[in-house]
Structure formats: C-alpha cells, structure tokens
C-alpha cells in the first residue's frame, strides 16, 4: 500500500514513521511519501496562499501548487489512484472505511490548512472527502495520519492476523478486557477463568464480557 501525502507540513508526520508503521515501511509493506506542495509554488517567496475573493478572514490555498504537485504524481502512472481530501465536510471515518481503503494499492491524501483550498482544484482532483469527526482542526495533517494508521494496520502483514480478528468493531462488539502478569495487582486478582486453561470457557467469558461492555459503553453499536 502506497500513500502519497500532499501537505505543507511534512515534518508533522513523525508518528506514522515510528513504531509499528515505521517497521511496516522498512519491511516494504507500506510506503509513505510526503510531498510538500509549497515546492510547486512559482511565487518568488514560495507563497501558496492568497486572500479570498469576496473578502473575509484568513487565506486560501491557491489551486496551481496543489494541482502541479498532484500532476507530478499521476503523470508517471498508467492508472489513477484515489485522491482523498481531509475536511470536516467529508464522510465520518470509521473502521469499515479503513478496511475497504486497505484494499487499494495507492492512495493520495490531500491536507488543507488555513481557510481551505481553492474549490476549482478540489473539483478537478478529489475523489472522496473524509472527516475524522465533528470538530475543526487547524489542518488535514492529523486526520491524514489517522487514516494512514487505521488503514495500514489492515494491510496484510502489518499486524499479526489474530490481532485483527479479535479487535473492536469487527463483530460490532467492543473488545473484552485484557490482563497480564502479575496475577494479583493491588489486591485485585485476574479473573479465575483466564487462569483455568479451559479454552471454551475462556472464549465464552470473553464473548459475554464483550457484549456487557458494548451494552454499557456503546449501546448504539448493538441497536
Ligand atoms: N481538517 C480540519 N478538521 C478536520 C476534520 N475534523 N477531519 C478531517 N479533516 C479536517
């Protein structure tokens, strides 16, 4: 899975170059290219924004650097990767979307900043708009990292397969509680059944706990 990220702040992307995703990239399971569209500005001062037509606060990102950065990617290809624009106006991201997007070979993620991007270039290149929730951030970089993380962990080989099977949202239920050593922590013992070695009973207990937790924390997932 290849991600090309169009951003004005490539230095923000340290988290997706670390830990599990860092290892996945070293192992060639994913590739994350950061493309600064400021590099495509033709302005002597490398400006990429200007005042909005019609007036109003803030600055708007000009269409040309975004388009030229996009062209620099797709002009080398004989297929058209899906381009996702991160915006609070988009469809709210969820696990199902992460799983479906993991089936793509190549995604381009476009991050806005300031008051937004000139609508003409968005109309020209955007295939899908995605939001990470009903709040407004200063830019699309954190949302892009969230997509990269949630999608990458569904790419084959990035996690061990069993982690994906048990986890929250796959079977509409949240995950059961987990315990590790020590057997007693501050006077509280690990549930007896987990020490029993009886796999069928453990499975049953975990299913019941998952259901109980989902009913309490996210009843909307059941109804
Ligand atoms: N850009 C700013 N806020 C955002 C959000 N909530 N989701 C996606 N992109 C954004």
Residue that terminates a domain, selected from 124, 139, 161? 161
Asked whether residue 69 falls in the same domain as residue 149, the answer is yes
Asked whether residue 201 falls in the same domain as residue 99, the answer is no
List the alpha helices (DSSP H) in the chain: 19-26, 63-74, 95-101, 119-125, 141-152, 161-166, 192-195, 199-217
pTM: 0.94
Asked whether residue 94 falls in the same domain as residue 180, the answer is no
Query: How much is the average pLDDT of 209-222?
Result: 95
Q: How far is the CA of 112 from the centre of ligand 1 (A)?
A: 9
* 169 has a pLDDT exceeding 80: no
Asked whether residue 128 falls in the same domain as residue 40, the answer is yes
- Please name the residue whose Cα sits nearest to atom 10 of ligand 1: 87
* 170 has a pLDDT exceeding 70: no
Q: Write out pLDDT tens, residues 139-159.
A: 999 999 999 999 999 999 999
* 171 has a pLDDT exceeding 70: no
Q: How far is the CA of 168 from the centre of ligand 1 (A)?
A: 24
* 25 has a pLDDT exceeding 80: yes
* pLDDT interval class at 223 (50, 70, 90): confident
Asked whether residue 190 falls in the same domain as residue 155, the answer is no
Asked whether residue 200 falls in the same domain as residue 144, the answer is no
Asked whether residue 97 falls in the same domain as residue 185, the answer is no
Query: How much is the average pLDDT of 41-57?
Result: 96
* 165 has a pLDDT exceeding 80: no
Let me know: does 66 contact 110? Beta carbons within 8 Å. Answer: yes
Q: How far is the CA of 84 from the centre of ligand 1 (A)?
A: 12
Let me know: does 9 contact 141? Beta carbons within 8 Å. Answer: yes
Mean pLDDT of the chain: 96
Q: How far is the CA of 116 from the centre of ligand 1 (A)?
A: 11
Q: How far is the CA of 5 from the centre of ligand 1 (A)?
A: 15
- Please name the residue whose Cα sits nearest to atom 9 of ligand 1: 87
> Domain range for residue 195?
166-222
How far is the C-alpha of 103 from the C-alpha of 76, rounded, in Å? Answer: 22
Query: How much is the average pLDDT of 17-27?
Result: 98
- The whole-number pLDDT of residue 161 equals 82
Q: How far is the CA of 195 from the centre of ligand 1 (A)?
A: 45
- The number of folded domains in the chain is 2
User: Which residues have CB under 8 Å from 130's CB, separation 6+?
Assistant: 84, 85, 86, 87, 90, 91, 92, 93, 97, 143, 147
- The whole-number pLDDT of residue 114 equals 79
Residues in the ligand 1 pocket, defined by CB under 6 Å: 86-88, 131-133, 135-137, 140, 143
Asked whether residue 49 falls in the same domain as residue 107, the answer is yes
Point out the ligand 1 atom lying closest to the alpha carbon of residue 87: 9
- Please name the residue whose Cα sits nearest to atom 5 of ligand 1: 88
Q: Write out pLDDT tens, residues 174-208.
A: 999 999 999 999 999 999 999 999 999 999 999 99
């Amino acid at each position: 899975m290849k991600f090309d990220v169009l951003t004005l702040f490539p230095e923000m992307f340290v988290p997706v170059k670390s830990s599990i995703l860092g290892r996945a990239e070293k192992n060639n399971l994913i590739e994350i290219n950061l493309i600064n569209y400021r590099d495509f500005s033709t302005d002597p001062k490398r400006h990429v924004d200007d005042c909005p037509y019609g007036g109003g606060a803030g600055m708007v990102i000009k269409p040309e650097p975004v388009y030229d950065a996009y062209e620099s990617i797709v002009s080398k290809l004989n297929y058209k990767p899906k381009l996702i624009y991160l915006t609070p106006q988009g469809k709210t991201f969820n696990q199902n979307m992460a799983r479906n997007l993991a089936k793509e070979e190549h995604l381009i993620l476009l991050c806005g900043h300031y008051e937004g991007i000139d609508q003409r270039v968005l109309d020209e290149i955007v295939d899908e708009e995605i939001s990470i929730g009903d709040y407004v951030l200063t830019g699309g970089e954190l949302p892009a990292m969230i997509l990269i993380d949630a999608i990458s962990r569904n790419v084959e080989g990035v996690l061990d397969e069993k982690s994906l099977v048990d986890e929250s949202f796959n079977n509409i239920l949240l995950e059961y509680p987990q315990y590790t050593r020590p057997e007693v922590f501050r006077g509280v013992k690990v549930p007896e059944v987990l020490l029993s070695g009886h796999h069928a009973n453990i499975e049953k207990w975990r299913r019941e706990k998952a259901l109980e937790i989902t009913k309490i924390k996210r009843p909307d997932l059941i109804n």
